[in-house]
Structure 1
Amino acid sequence: MPLTRRTLLATAASTLAAPALPRFAWADDTPILRAAPAVAQIAPKGYGTTPIWSYGGMIPGPEVRVRAGERVRRRFVNDLPQPSAVHWHGIRITNAMDGAAGFTQDPVPPGGTFGYDFVAPDPGTYWYHAHARSWEQVSRGLAGPLIVEEAEVWTGLEGAATREATLMLADWRLQEDAALHEASFGDLHDWSHAGRLGNTVTINGSIDAAIPVRRGERLRLRLINSATARVMPLRLPGLSPVLIALDGHPVALRAAEEIVLAPAQRADVVVDVSPEMDAPLPILMDTGRDEWIEIGALVDGGETPLPPQDGPVRALPMTMDHALGLTAPQEEVLRMEGGAMGGLRRAHLGGVDRDFRELVAARRVWAFNGVAGDMDAPAFRAALGRTVRMRLVNDTAWAHGIHLHGHHFEVLSRGGRPDPHRDRRDTVLVMPDEPVEIAFIADNPGRWLLHCHMLGHQASGMLTWFEVG
């Protein structure tokens, strides 16, 4: 497929026994979330359609939207040829509903069903995605937005946005006939480098995304990076975005001329659309080496313009418990090792010390603290309510997006310097040779995964877990 200004060239699980979960009694009107093969027009018009896997026959999957404190109930139906499960990313929910196949629940077999039922406690921008062979299933399209609105309506208040739009970004590796490049699923060369990078980026499933806006409106954009490997630096020229939240958590307001989203990260920004808007406003992404391309645009939707929005942007109400005591925290270190040019010589796997040749044969080329995805023992245990301070050390040549299940954490420092914002996140981008210090309260009991969200890295060794309580 030839390149256009909206396409780009790619640059360079173990399964555990999981406890059976209780069966739920479902009402006839319980919404169904069905995963099944489908087709989509990902390539430009004039090219063929792309066979994908999707929730509800669409990409991204259907938006799940509730208000903070309300329940999410979905009957997951697996019509795929593989076992699967649904992870509700970033939501602080009970461990049994986390959706980590083979760890917190049994994988749902082809033709099987599973009931997800949980309260969404915190407002914010989240998402859901497959968590079985996620390096393949997410790449095939199994992801969708999960939006938790503020308990008290924020949109429409003085200084707040007049409207909002969710933009879910995805990265696809297409062949010339527009089919997914299936032969490279699980490619160890990809996994040992940056991961499976695609050659096409979409917004809400479209390669030519045109987001209709109303001139004069103040718009809240919920940005979600659902790619399996691609870090996405974004710009919205001419709009002066104001950052209001990261990974679902409110932040101190600040300008966001460039927004960098690692896989799984989210950002909420507010933009003021000029009443004199006379041309589409591009959404730009850096493909690498400061090469920016247009991946979509905000376009005039044709409605009567609103009066220009005056005054500063209104901050979101702060949520979650912020009493993070650091006087005597539990200290932990997570050291990232391996990958191409990483110098990994040995690591533990299956409880045995193995040399690099044995690790490659087992398709494990990354490690945490000298362990290559061996899930027999946790990385650490923490008492319920204990504050954990963790130092993330990247001794590799590649960036990693480290995700903690079931918890938000505070970013304390980067590169040995205090972080000026102290943002709360569930996924943090750690660059090579840039130690990052985070801290969180272990307030959600259970066994929780801790892994790189470059999903090929996770599958090939960057996967562990911790236990709370």
Structure 2
Amino acid sequence: MMTTRRDFLIRSGATLATAATTAATTAAMTGLPRLARAATAGLPELRAQKAQVQLAPEGYPQTAIWGYGGALPGPELRLAQGARVQRRFVNDLPQASTVHWHGVRLDNAMDGVPGLTQAAVAPGDGFDYDFTAGDAGTFWYHAHERSVEQVARGLYGALVVEEAEAPDVDADLVLVLDDWLLDPETAQIDTDFEAPHDRSHAGRRGNFVATNGQQAYSRDVATHDRLRLRLINAANARIFVLDVAGMEGWTIALDGMPLPAPTPLTEPVLLGPGQRADLIVDITAEPGEVAQLLRFDSRDGVSQAGFPVTGQSARSRRPAPAALPPNPRMGVTLDADTAALRLNMEGGAMGRLDAAILNGTRRTFRELVEANEFWSFNGVVGMPDAPLATLARGQTATLEIRNDTAFPHAMHLHGMHFRELDDTGAATGPLRDTLLMAGGETRSIGFTADNPGDWMFHCHMLSHAASGMMTWLRVA
């Protein structure tokens, strides 16, 4: 059965505080990554570089980060549906890196997964990303090499693809939510990115929470203003439990994909790492009050973003918004040729994993712990040589996922979206690219393998991915 938000809060408890493309089939079957291409002059630049920002409140030192363009978040890329995204990625970091375009259904060679779709871009080198944004919605981009470190240092930004007919709102705002693990004296990022506790428990969780790199994000509004809030969870492991005060609203899209009809905000919004939600909210607070996007780390809500009401809009209250126009290829119709797949997740602290295969050799759990590896998919730790499945282009598949661990996991599928199966086995859930699962749950998803290439499937609690929770699918 599908888990309600309330069920998830109860069951998760304390853990909530937590070219190888098939364009050339022969080349794809070798499993060798496409070489990083030299950047081409003339494309707009997306440069990964070191920077200093005032992340902690005034009075604390600036924090050293890695950011695209030296900004936090990176530049907001906003374009029309059907337009091309063209960026020359330049790596000015001391580590190799890539850019993954999270949630975008794009050509496999542009997906940014080192070792699977391209080689990592070495320091001083570049790579041209060029693809068409066929879906309207809220997406984001982030580093996918040593991502548990590079994302934690600030390498991410928003990608907004606008509908041809956008909803009537007074402001369209991107809110990138993140937490940071900072030294409380120096305000510098904790550099222990391989801490065994993080890798074996709920993941790397920060002690400083921010919106768009600001501790006290604020935007002036007026009573009866209508806002579109594009929420992006860029945190390594934190699950954001969100609600609104001084406003009423609707969820209109999840993970970039429009809902059939706006859903009233009657329950908290859960955002696992990598997930997004588009809300339309109407300000109901009066002048002099502050409307709030609230975050619940426990039973008490704290402000994630504030909206001081400075006046009264000339417009009166409006009716509920209409649904967004659908994106192409949103249907998932299962048939007799549907492939039935299974994924069993094991390991972690308080888990029941006795042994698993690491680098081709079966290891006891004690040996895995000594190697700082803690999680397995179907008995294999880390990215396997063989795909979880090879599917024909256009074939549908179901995937039963059993979370046989004590912790939540946010399972992200690259290159395609899926729908959760209902009690009858039909794929009727919202179209998403990331599934948030509580410990002990078994859930099933269905999808159409309509995008050729090799696609990663992993936990977006990035410490979990780094310590075993990775696999991949091939669409032939």
Matched to 1:199, the amino acid is N
CA distance in 2 between partners of 1:347 and 1:134 (Å): 24
Match of 1:4 in 2: none
TM superposition score normalised by structure 1? 0.91
Report the 3-state secondary structure (helix = DSSP H, G, I; strand = E; otherwise coil) of the residue aligned with 1:166.
Answer: strand
Match of 1:376 in 2: 385
Matched to 1:230, the amino acid is R
Describe how 1:105-116 pairs up with structure 2 within 5 A. Answer: 105-116=118-129
The answer to whether the Cα contact below 8 Å between 2:39 and 2:89 also exists between their aligned partners in 1 is no
1:247 to 252, 255, 259: 255
Describe how 1:10-409 pairs up with structure 2 within 5 A. Answer: 18-20=33-35, 25-27=40-42, 30-150=43-163, 152-156=164-168, 161-251=169-259, 252-257=261-266, 258-274=268-284, 276-288=286-298, 290-300=299-309, 302=310, 305-328=313-336, 329-409=338-418
CA distance in 1 between partners of 2:284 and 2:200 (Å): 45
CA distance in 1 between partners of 2:167 and 2:253 (Å): 14
CA distance in 1 between partners of 2:428 and 2:320 (Å): 19
Question: Displacement of 1:140 after TM fit?
Answer: 0.6
The answer to whether the Cα contact below 8 Å between 2:167 and 2:324 also exists between their aligned partners in 1 is no
The answer to whether the Cα contact below 8 Å between 2:210 and 2:216 also exists between their aligned partners in 1 is yes
The answer to whether the Cα contact below 8 Å between 2:40 and 2:88 also exists between their aligned partners in 1 is no
The answer to whether the Cα contact below 8 Å between 1:336 and 1:368 also exists between their aligned partners in 2 is yes
Match of 1:438 in 2: 445
Structure 2 unmatched runs, 5+: 1-14, 19-30
1:454 equivalenced with 2:464 (yes/no): no
Report the 3-state secondary structure (helix = DSSP H, G, I; strand = E; otherwise coil) of the residue aligned with 1:335.
Answer: strand
Q: Deviation per CA, 1:229-286, whole angstroms, max 9, x where unpaired?
A: 0000001112122010000001131112411000000000111123833311122111
CA distance in 2 between partners of 1:238 and 1:53 (Å): 36
Given the superposition, is the C-alpha separation of residues 114 and 336 from structure 1 closer, same or farther in structure 2, using an over 3 Å criterion?
A: same
Question: Displacement of 1:417 after TM fit?
Answer: 8.0
Note the aligned Cα RMSD (angstroms): 2.0
Report the 3-state secondary structure (helix = DSSP H, G, I; strand = E; otherwise coil) of the residue aligned with 1:136.
Answer: helix
Greater alpha carbon shift after TM alignment, 46-55 vs 399-408: 46-55
CA distance in 1 between partners of 2:414 and 2:134 (Å): 15
Question: Displacement of 1:322 after TM fit?
Answer: 3.4
Report the 3-state secondary structure (helix = DSSP H, G, I; strand = E; otherwise coil) of the residue aligned with 2:305.
Answer: strand
Question: Displacement of 1:20 after TM fit?
Answer: 1.4
Report the 3-state secondary structure (helix = DSSP H, G, I; strand = E; otherwise coil) of the residue aligned with 1:96.
Answer: helix
Greater alpha carbon shift after TM alignment, 382-391 vs 307-316: 307-316
Question: Displacement of 1:21 after TM fit?
Answer: 5.1
The answer to whether the Cα contact below 8 Å between 2:153 and 2:189 also exists between their aligned partners in 1 is no
CA distance in 1 between partners of 2:207 and 2:380 (Å): 32
CA distance in 2 between partners of 1:421 and 1:216 (Å): 34
TM superposition score normalised by structure 2? 0.90
CA distance in 1 between partners of 2:113 and 2:149 (Å): 15
Structure 1 unmatched runs, 5+: 1-8
Report the 3-state secondary structure (helix = DSSP H, G, I; strand = E; otherwise coil) of the residue aligned with 1:57.
Answer: coil
CA distance in 2 between partners of 1:235 and 1:111 (Å): 43
Given the superposition, is the C-alpha separation of residues 375 and 170 from structure 1 closer, same or farther in structure 2, using an over 3 Å criterion?
A: same
Given the superposition, is the C-alpha separation of residues 360 and 417 from structure 1 closer, same or farther in structure 2, using an over 3 Å criterion?
A: farther
CA distance in 1 between partners of 2:220 and 2:305 (Å): 11
Report the 3-state secondary structure (helix = DSSP H, G, I; strand = E; otherwise coil) of the residue aligned with 1:139.
Answer: coil
Question: Displacement of 1:23 after TM fit?
Answer: 5.2
Number of matched pairs:
447
The answer to whether the Cα contact below 8 Å between 2:383 and 2:472 also exists between their aligned partners in 1 is no
Matched to 2:146, the amino acid is R
Matched to 1:353, the amino acid is R
